Amino acid sequence: MKNMKALLLILLTVPPAALAAPDARLERFNNWKFGLFIHWGVCSLASWENSWPLMRPLAKRQPGNTEEYYATLAPKFNPVKFDPDAWVKLAQDAGQRYIIFTTKHLDGFAMWDSLYSDYKITKTPYGKDIVKQLADSCQRANMPLGFYYSTADMHHPDYRDTSKIIGDNWHGEPWRPEWPVFLDFVGLQLTELLTRYGPVAAIWFDAVAPLEEFDGRRFSRLIHELQPDTLVNNRLGVGGDFDTPEQHNPKGVPTNKVAGNNLKVINDTVAGTVPKAEDFRPWETCQVITKRNWFYHQDENYFKPVKELIQLLADTASKGGNLLLDVGPGPDGTIRPEFTERLLAMGAWLRVNGDSIYGTTYGPLQNLSFGRSTRKAKTVYLHVFDWPANGKLEVEDLGEHIVSVRLLAGGQKVPFHKSGGHLQIDIPQQAPDVNDSVLAVETR
């Protein structure tokens, strides 16, 4: 009994990061570099950004943004064109190495057959477990799958007094006696997700502040107990395995000297500095292809150009991070062609230049005016966004013996020499790729 008490004391006092499984988990995560984020739910019927229109003050709501209207959506949700194999194939063709799927967003609607809620996909006309179908497809394709899960739940009466409008109490009400029952509900749903659907690459928590209300240590321990290899992000108020800046990249390479314990802020180092490997803090930026929307919007009219997306991926990799790029499927379960076209274009670029992204870490040159750099073992990759018109590319001397310099597109070797503390490379007049041309600098 004394030993059990001692073990319990350790579990309650040691930070979750120290309880994590071996570093091989994070090494695998860092090597993936590019993932697919999927935001989907009943709100796609209304072209809403999920519950956020309801959570704003009543005076700022758009006409029709009422809880009464939102309650009519689930009985109509019938995504008969949902094809999980097509989704997984799109991710593969895009060069994405993992998928994070929204199992439950802030509205509380479960995309799986949860035993602990009637507000779920299997109570709609569709009637089938979406999470199971996607998990089965991912397992057939050997595609790692993680689950987004919102600890906040606007639908649950133990999270907030649902007799009030959401705009009055959407942060939750932990002072009510029902709050511990709500936390038990969260634990039961997490247990379902971690025991029914095979290996779970990550639990991607989301919540509303203050995060301390959600007892993050409790759920971190539960996850590591049920699936020790599952990673946990930083949105549970207890650090987690990796940080998640939203809709932006850090200015410099993040370090673990101050782990990010909140929703969106990441510990930026000074732009241009290169930390020691042991100081690096794993991170993943989640960003959208549209201007700002995570979920499906029927009238969406802006989609980021392919060039911007490819350079975003290169910038993310140059600072050691992963890019989790979002799509919002429509209410019928299909992914709109504007998303597909851009993802496939990124996949085509990666088939030529993937060595400069997958398995790399942050580059040794963090202050390049023309682009970015990444590194893998003895190879430094120069991502050239702005191709010099004079056929001359100059960077700081890497301080290493250089064996060769070649273009990833076509493999052509190019002349180089060192002069005055700089490496000068003679490149073709024409850029191999209008989006991002990559040079591989082999060192010894």
> Is a pLDDT exceeding 80 seen at residue 272?
no
Angle between helices 337-353 and 84-93 (to 10 degrees): 40
Please provide the DSSP assignment of 406-438 as one string.
EETTT--B--EEEETTEEEEE--SS-S-SS-EE
Tell me the one-letter amino acid at 312. L
**Strands 437-443 and 379-384: what pairing?**
antiparallel
Q: Which residue has the tokens 């590319």?
A: 393
Q: Which residue has the tokens 């025991």?
A: 195
Tokens representing 212 are 């301390």
> Is a pLDDT exceeding 70 seen at residue 351?
yes
pLDDT score recorded for residue 436: 98
Segment 249-277 shows an average pLDDT of 70
β-sheet with 416-419: strand ranges across: 392-396, 422-426, 416-419
Terminal alpha carbon distance of the chain: 57
Segment 207-217 shows an average pLDDT of 86
Distance CA 361, CA 345 (A): 23
Alpha carbons within 13 A on the beta-carbon side of 130: 32
Is residue 439 within 8 A of residue 381, CB to CB? The reply is yes
Phi and psi at 257, nearest 5°, equal -65, -30
> Is a pLDDT exceeding 50 seen at residue 422?
yes
Segment 328-357 shows an average pLDDT of 98
Tokens representing 430 are 């024409």
Please provide the DSSP assignment of 262-273 as one string.
SSS---PPPTT-
Task: Provide the 8-state DSSP code for 120.
Answer: B
> Is a pLDDT exceeding 90 seen at residue 55?
no
pLDDT score recorded for residue 372: 98
Domains of the chain in sequence order? 24-359 (3.20.20.80), 363-443 (2.60.40.1180)
- Point out the least confidently predicted range of 34-48, 61-75, 236-250: 61-75
Is residue 70 within 8 A of residue 6, CB to CB? The reply is no
pLDDT score recorded for residue 9: 40
> Is a pLDDT exceeding 70 seen at residue 19?
no
Mean pLDDT of the chain: 91
> Is a pLDDT exceeding 90 seen at residue 63?
no
DSSP helix/strand/coil, 182? helix
Segment 199-216 shows an average pLDDT of 91
Tokens representing 139 are 């397992």
pLDDT score recorded for residue 270: 59
pLDDT, tens only, 66-111: 899 999 999 999 999 999 999 999 999 999 999 999 999 999 999 9
- Please return the burial class of 140, using the count of CB atoms within 10 Å of its CB with bins 0-12, 13-18 and 19+: exposed
> Is a pLDDT exceeding 80 seen at residue 15?
no
pLDDT score recorded for residue 1: 43
